[in-house]
Amino acid sequence: MSIQDDIRNYIVENILFGDGQNLGPDTLLQEGGVLDSTGMLDILTFVEEKFGIKIADDEVIPENFDTLRKMSGFVERKMSGRTAAR
């Protein structure tokens, strides 16, 4: 399973409770009503634990996290040691 699938599964199971048919790679998670203000913290914890990365405060910005595609891209870059978008 790809990183994006892993994150998507987590969101579908734990935040959408199985209702994932409208969640695509480019769905806006916050504005599209998928995540509430605290749901984002859930995901950060999940991503850090699952992929063994540490996310800095200033990396938590919509450019890195507001869609599944951006999130998985960010995680990939972190895992390969490249600098994340700032």
Partner 1 sequence: MCGIVGICKLQAGRDIDLNTIARMMAMIRHRGPDETGIYLDDQVGLGHLRLSIIDLERGCQPIHNEDQTLWIIYNGEAFNYVELRQQLVEQGHQFYTTSDTEVILHLYEQEGPRCVERLNGQFAFAIWNRQSRELFLARDRVGIRPLHYTLHEGTLIFASEVKSIFAVPGVRRELDPISLDQIFTFWTVLPGRTAFRDIYELPPGHYLKVSRGTVEIKRYWEIPIYSREEQLDRPVDELCDQIRDLLTDAIRIRLRADVPVGGYLSGGLDSSGVAALVARRFNADLKTFGIRFEQESFDEGTHQEQMVSFLGTKHREVWATPELIGNLFAPTLWHCEKPLLRTAPVPLYALSGAVNESGLKVVLTGEGADEVFGGYDIFKEAKVRRFWSRRPDVSVRAVLFDQLYSDVFRDQRAKSFLLSFFGKGLDRSGDPLFSHLVRWDNTSRIKGFFSNELKAAIGGADPYEPLRQSLPERYHQLDTVGKAQYLETMIFLSNYLLSSQGDRVAMAHSVEIRLPFLDYRLIDLAARVPSRWKILGLNEKHILKKVLAPVLPRQIVARKKQPYRAPIVNCLLSGASRESAMGFLTKEAVQRAALFDPGKVNKLRAKLQAVENPTEIDGMALAGILSSQIIYQQFIEGFPTCIQSAAHPNLIFDRRVQSAPLTGRYAV
If one asks whether residue 55 binds partner 1 (CB under 8 A), the answer comes out as yes
Which residues, 6 or more positions from 75, have their beta carbon under 8 angstroms from its beta carbon?
A: 3, 7, 47, 51, 53
If one asks whether residue 30 binds partner 1 (CB under 8 A), the answer comes out as yes
From residue 83, alpha-carbon distances to 8, 26, 37, 58 in Å are: 23, 22, 26, 13
Euclidean distance between the first and final Cα of the chain, in Å? 27
At 70, the amino acid letter reads K
Q: Which stretch binds partner 1 (CB under 8 A): 8-16, 68-76, 78-86?
A: 8-16
Contact with partner 1 (CB under 8 A) among 1, 17, 52, 86: 17
Site string for partner 1, 67-86 (x = CB under 8 A): --------------------
Q: Which residues bind partner 1 (CB under 8 A)?
A: 13-14, 16-19, 30-31, 33, 35-42, 44, 55, 57, 60-62, 65-66
